[in-house]
Amino acid sequence: MFFSLTCTSHKLNLLPMSSRRKFLQNLSSTALLVGSGGVSKLLAEENYEKRTIPWERKISSNDKIRLAVIGTGIMGHNDLDTALKIPGVELVAACDLYTGRLERMKEKYNKDLFTTRDYREILEKKDIDAVIIATSDNWHSRISIDALNKGKNVYCEKPMVHKLSQGQEVINAWKKSGKIMQVGSQGISGASSAKARELFKAGEIGQLNCIEATYDRQSAIGAWQYTFPTDESPQTVDWDRYVSMMNPKPKYDSKKFFWWRNYKDFGTGMSGDLFVHLLTGIHYITGSMGPQKIVSSGQLAYWKDGRDVPDVMVAIMDYPETKEHPAFQTMLRVNFISGGGDRSAVRYIGSEGVMEKTGNGVRIAYSNMPKAPGIGGWDSLSTYPQAMQDELMKRYNEKWTADDKKRVTKQSVQYSEPAGNDDHLEHFTNFFEGIRNNKTVIEDPVVGFRAAAPCLAANDSYFQKKVINWNPEKMQLAAV
């Protein structure tokens, strides 16, 4: 399947020809394909040797951790349910700006649970050890910094920040606090991510040259059209507090509260929600600090419900050579109206094979070139005089042996996660083990920002119609 930048936002076509040409010339021509047909065929037609990834979850202690949750929407509930599976973790407080969700917290967990609309009341409580921050994206950095400054350990949903300018502020607050902070791209904590990292570092696919990553959906809920409560109103929603950091302050709009992901003032769109999952995994597996050039395009193809972010989006990112990996390109795509249904995959394409990482496993299909370069077939040989063809064939056969002309074959392998492996649970286990033993966690704010920043830059590229240059080592915008 080919995806070219001809399938982009009509807004790009509104630019003057010279501007469009300059915009597109920054792209490498090899990056205009997402989902190579040859790679798809290789992965689909292989017979895989099946293996199960060994995995053991260890909890060193069950010291009590008193936990609060700030933001009790979909991810707040899912994070909390997962966190409470870990021995010694106790829920003591909850904050949300919609009264119905606070009522639900008391129904579900404890009728005497402390609840509030003001997260600062939670941070003032001395008996709280850690907080989950699962608010709209625009509140992530503010609440994280406030929580760290109050001596709380923080689990913050991805993306860690809403704007590029906020990353260093969070990192500085975390370093100053001495507390543990984990960012919530839980996929990297699963057994399949660890196995993919091991295989990549062992050189199983040869030299990496590009990565294709997709995250597609085909449903209204998948496109963030969530169910509305029957009693939504300015009386049940603390709208003034919700928009208190904005100037001017917009009027009450229930969609911008309950469907906040659809609006760039409150969320970060497809890039901040889903590109960031893909990039967090890519950086973990390759050991990369991030790309140096980012460009994106997209369109609003189907879900025309008032949102101001695209529902189909593509980004191309150039990664420089480092001691951890060669230079490579990453091509990202999210499609909320994909006729292929709900699916996600990341393909690491190397010189000797392809490694595909999916939700619950990883597989490698190998393809090695023969030592001999080949002659004849789709070649210029047949266009030369016969005597010259004969002489060229003679020289070729004298130089290359029969073995040199053969492709080296290798059995393809599919690794599956063991039954019961839960990356979300592993991610929270890692967080609480970090608190209990003062250990480094898998996704601290530096890791979290290195994944979030290119995604936020992709948004800037989309809205500003330009290439974004980034310094992945210093984590800051770079000069052209």
What is the rounded CA–CA span in Å between residue 67 and residue 89? Answer: 7
Tell me the per-residue pLDDT of 115-172, one tens digit each, with 9 for 90 and over: 999 999 999 999 999 999 999 999 999 999 999 999 999 999 999 999 999 999 999 9
Beta-strand (E) ranges in 267-326?
293-299, 312-319
- What are residue 334's DSSP bridge partners? 215, 313
Residue 8 pLDDT exceeds 90: no
The pTM assigned to this predicted structure is 0.90
C-alpha pair distances (Å), 192 with each of 254, 351, 418: 39, 22, 9
CATH 3.30.70.940 fits 10-55+188-224+259-369+408-420+445-477, yes or no: no
The whole-number average pLDDT for the span 306-325 is: 98
d(CA 199, CA 362): 10
pLDDT digits (tens, 9 = 90+) for 166-218: 999 999 999 999 999 999 999 999 999 999 999 999 999 999 999 999 999 99
Residues 295/318, Cβ–Cβ less than 8 Å: no
**In whole angstroms, what is the distance from residue 382 CA to residue 376 CA?**
7
Residue 431: which residues within 8 A CB-CB, separation 6 or more?
130, 153, 155, 180, 182, 441
Structure tokens at 324: 């951890």
Calpha distance 470→454 (Å, rounded): 8
List, by residue range, all CATH 3.40.50.720 domains of the chain. 65-187
| C-alpha to C-alpha distance for 86 and 58, rounded to whole angstroms | 11
pLDDT of residue 6: 36
Strands of 153-157's sheet, edge to edge? 114-116, 89-95, 65-70, 130-133, 153-157, 181-184
Domain with CATH 3.30.360.10 in the chain: 10-55+188-224+259-369+408-420+445-477
Each residue's pLDDT tens digit, 243-296: 999 999 999 999 999 999 999 999 999 999 999 999 999 999 999 999 999 999
Q: Average model confidence (pLDDT) for the chain?
A: 92
Distance of alpha carbon 406 from alpha carbon 469, whole angstroms? 43
CATH class of segment(s) 65-187: alpha beta
Cis check: omega of the bond before 445, within 30 degrees of 0? no
Compare 23 and 176 and report the one with higher pLDDT: 176
- Residue 39: predicted pLDDT: 61
Q: Cα–Cα distance between 409 and 203 in angstroms, integer?
A: 16
Residue 57 burial by CB count (10 A; 0-12/13-18/19+): exposed, middle or buried? Answer: middle
Instruction: Tell me if 176 sits within 8 A of 417, measured CB to CB.
Output: no
Rounded to whole angstroms, the maximal C-alpha distance in the chain is 94
CA distance 90 to 140: 23
What's the CA gap between 272 and 24, in Å, rounded?
Answer: 23
Query: For residues 221 and 217, what is the distance between their CA atoms, to the nearest angstrom?
Result: 9
What pLDDT is recorded for position 47? 78
Amino acid at the residue 399: K
Q: How many residues does this entry show for the chain?
A: 480
Residue type, 129: D
